[in-house]
């Protein structure tokens, strides 16, 4: 078991704690393998009635995945990156299909891989510290780990908006949109965890007893604009709608989108729109894996990681640099199914 993951049993629950504080608990391969191993060990254990997932010391729940490793691999043969995503997506699917109730305490930064780790949970607990986002278009990726499934099931065009812009939601907003099931003050979490460990059959009642009234969800004030301005089924038309509106909010979101990878914007829109029609979560994982294996070896991912994470100059030079350079043929090739012997499978 990796030291980056703390796996224990407490009372009648299994506990999985992310323990990589210097990286805001970003997931690496060993952590994903450790989660899978723990879930398998507890699957048929009658002494373990529920699973709790949270983070140990430090800020944030989980800031994503091991981006530097993935970028280095993608610049070469991509084998390590493919192995990471194969394993991470298997972890996502295992969580999604797990029979015993899972409670994820999403207290702090929750992005990318952290979304994939927490969204499959039956109970998702937000706090005043929660900062939820799928910001992948800023580094040449797309909202994966089931992002197409989860975002496409949000009301109206919220999923498209979040997937393209990478907008951050606070805890009250995640509760309003159903991305969280409960809103607790951070000070109440340890007490709630102890009570759940003692009585896992009463999870909902315990969380309800500790719940607080959240502040107003700010995103509700923008719902009309989001549904109207992000209604189109092409990124070019969404950009045109924002330009034509010309209001302060529209221009702010327009500037945000223009800073993102044009390729990633088009991939992300298709991922979200396709996700609404997937028959099951495994189908979502099959498509996302095909897409990610190609994306990590294309120029924008390495450039996005360089600009935002390594050099931190925030001046990525995207290739193609504009939306009109990202052809339908290019997107179709990225989305083409993998050969059967290379495709994602649950195990």
What is the DSSP code string of 68-136?
HHHHHHHTTT-HHHHHHHHHHHHHHHHHHH-SS-EEEEE-SEEETHHHHHHTTSSEEEE-TT-EEE--G
> If we measure between CA atoms, which residue out of 167, 183, 253, 250 comes closest to residue 216?
183
Reply yes or no on whether 113 is catalytic.
Answer: yes
Read off the tokens for 102: 């899972």
Q: Which residues contact 302 (CB under 8 A, 6 or more apart)?
A: 71, 74, 75, 140
Q: Which residues contact 57 (CB under 8 A, 6 or more apart)?
A: 19, 21
* Burial class (CB within 10 angstroms; exposed 0-12, middle 13-18, buried 19+) of 244: exposed
Catalytic residue among 14, 60, 64, 65: 65
Yes or no: say if 90 and 31 are a contact pair by the CB < 8 Å rule. Answer: no
Catalytic residue among 34, 113, 148, 166: 113
Reply yes or no on whether 144 is catalytic.
Answer: yes
How far from each other are the two terminal CA atoms of the chain, in whole angstroms?
Answer: 20
**Cα–Cα dist 182/214, whole Å:** 10
CA distances from 77 to 57, 83, 124, 264 (A): 35, 12, 37, 21
DSSP state of 65: B
> If we measure between CA atoms, which residue out of 176, 31, 189 comes closest to residue 104?
189
Catalytic residue among 54, 66, 144, 253: 144
Yes or no: say if 248 and 177 are a contact pair by the CB < 8 Å rule. Answer: no
Q: Please give the biggest Cα pair distance in the chain.
A: 60
Catalytic residue among 136, 170, 173, 274: 136
Q: Show which residues are catalytic.
A: 65, 113, 136, 144
């Amino acid at each position: 078991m990796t030291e980056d993951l703390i796996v224990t049993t407490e009372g009648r629950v299994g506990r999985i704690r992310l323990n990589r504080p210097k990286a805001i608990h970003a997931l690496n391969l060993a952590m994903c393998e450790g989660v899978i191993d723990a879930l398998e060990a507890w699957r048929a254990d009658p002494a373990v009635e529920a699973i709790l997932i949270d983070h140990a010391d430090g800020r944030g729940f989980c800031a994503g995945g091991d981006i530097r490793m993935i970028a280095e691999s993608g610049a070469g043969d991509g084998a390590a990156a493919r192995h990471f995503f194969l394993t991470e997506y298997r972890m996502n699917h295992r969580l999604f299909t797990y029979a015993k109730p899972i409670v994820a305490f999403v207290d702090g930064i929750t992005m990318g891989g952290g979304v994939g780790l927490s969204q499959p949970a039956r109970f998702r607990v937000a706090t005043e510290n929660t900062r939820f986002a799928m910001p992948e278009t800023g580094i040449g990726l797309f909202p994966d780990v089931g992002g197409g499934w989860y975002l496409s099931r949000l009301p109206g065009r919220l999923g498209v908006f979040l997937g393209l812009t990478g907008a951050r939601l606070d805890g009250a907003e995640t509760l309003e949109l159903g991305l969280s099931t409960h809103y607790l003050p951070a000070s109440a979490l340890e007490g709630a965890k102890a009570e759940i460990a003692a009585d896992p059959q009463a999870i909902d009642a315990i969380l309800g007893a500790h719940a607080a009234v959240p502040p107003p969800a700010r995103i509700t004030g923008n719902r009309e604009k989001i549904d109207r301005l992000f209604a189109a089924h092409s990124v070019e038309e969404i950009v045109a709608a924002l330009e034509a509106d010309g209001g302060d909010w529209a221009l702010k979101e327009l500037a945000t989108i223009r800073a993102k990878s044009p390729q990633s914007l088009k991939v992300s829109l298709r991922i979200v729109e396709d996700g609404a029609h997937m028959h099951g979560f495994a189908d979502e994982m099959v498509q996302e894996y095909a897409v990610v294996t190609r994306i990590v070896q294309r120029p924008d991912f390495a450039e996005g990681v360089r600009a935002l994470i390594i050099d931190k100059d925030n001046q990525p030079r995207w290739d193609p640099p504009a939306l009109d350079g990202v052809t339908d043929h290019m997107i179709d090739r990225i989305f083409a199914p993998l050969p059967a012997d290379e495709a994602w499978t649950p195990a």
